[in-house]
């Protein structure tokens, strides 16, 4: 562990001591070497972070102009689900393939996720992840309001070692190919959730595609009851990193939740100091 991340290690270690399951990885974008690694091989629930794998498969299909998937898709009652996203409140019943990727990247759109999964299939997403060498990271299911005994217990799981590597590889244009990698990064650059690690970077949640004060962020978050996960890239004036932080905890009070978010923000401050 780099001395620059001693404060992060202490903050996350305190959560672990109190019973949370914690995993974190920070990689230098030039060397690929780990600056922080805490239980980084453990697969934890990552909620909507797994949608990145769907975006990778969707982008690859667009790159190859795969004729098996229409360029314009309809939402159906079976796809309907509220919570994160916008399409469930929009009147338009159809959207282009690329716009659905944009909605997922910007607002983690659940309806767009379900529509894409209905056409692409969870098995194709799994095979793509395995082809990238991801063995502990997977999108397990469509988005559901409730999960029954026959459903996957989580939307997705992942290890921070693999997730930080995935964003490192995206930054280097190595996920499928450079065109596919850039398309995924373009979608994710619109993400409006800067509530976790990225809360330390001082960026505008709704407009941070361009560099601001020498900082440029691309990230994806996952939120569920007792789960907070943030994975991304931060480029600064001195350096760049890819990072992944996941905490699984007992969400029994607002105090418990805020302690987790405070610890994730500490990681963000150490990242900021390293790159800036």
pLDDT tens-place string over residues 44-94: 999 999 999 999 999 999 999 988 888 999 999 989 887 899 999 999 999
Which residues have a Cβ under 8 Å from the Cβ of 226 and sit 6 or more positions away?
A: 248, 249, 250, 251
> For the chain, what is the mean pLDDT?
95
Which residues have a Cβ under 8 Å from the Cβ of 184 and sit 6 or more positions away?
A: 52, 55, 56, 59, 101, 105, 170, 175
Confidence band (pLDDT; 50, 70, 90) for 4?
A: confident
**pLDDT attached to residue 189:** 97
pTM of the model: 0.96
Element (H, E) at 262: helix 254-275
Mean pLDDT along residues 138-165:
94
Tokens of 158: 């992942």
pLDDT above 80 for 3: no
pLDDT above 90 for 136: yes
pLDDT above 90 for 155: yes
Query: Please, where are the H alpha helices in 26-94?
Result: 51-64
């Amino acid at each position: 562990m780099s001395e620059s991340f001693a404060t992060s290690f202490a903050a996350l270690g305190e959560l672990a001591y109190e019973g949370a399951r914690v995993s974190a990885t920070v990689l230098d974008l030039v060397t690929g070497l780990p600056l922080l690694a805490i239980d980084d091989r453990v697969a934890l629930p990552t909620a909507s972070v797994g949608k990145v794998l769907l975006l990778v498969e969707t982008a690859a299909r667009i790159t190859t102009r795969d004729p098996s998937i229409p360029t314009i898709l309809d939402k159906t009652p079976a796809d309907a689900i509220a919570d994160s996203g916008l399409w469930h409140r929009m009147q338009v019943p159809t959207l282009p393939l690329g716009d659905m990727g944009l909605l997922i990247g910007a607002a983690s759109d659940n309806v767009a996720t379900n529509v894409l999964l209905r056409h692409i299939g969870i098995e194709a997403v799994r095979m793509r992840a395995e082809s990238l060498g991801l063995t502990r990271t997977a999108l397990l299911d469509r988005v559901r309001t409730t999960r029954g005994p026959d459903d996957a217990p989580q939307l997705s799981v992942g290890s921070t070692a693999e997730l930080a590597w995935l964003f490192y590889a995206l930054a280097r244009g190595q996920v499928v190919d450079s065109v596919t990698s850039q398309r995924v990064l373009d979608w994710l650059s619109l993400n409006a959730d800067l509530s976790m690690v990225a809360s330390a970077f001082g960026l505008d949640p709704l407009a941070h595609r361009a560099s601001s004060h020498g900082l440029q962020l691309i990230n994806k978050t996952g939120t569920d009851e007792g789960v907070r996960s943030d994975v991304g890239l931060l480029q600064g004036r001195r350096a760049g990193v890819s990072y992944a932080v996941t905490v699984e905890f007992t969400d029994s009070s607002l105090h418990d939740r805020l302690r987790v978010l405070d610890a994730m923000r500490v990681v963000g401050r150490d990242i900021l100091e390293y790159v800036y």
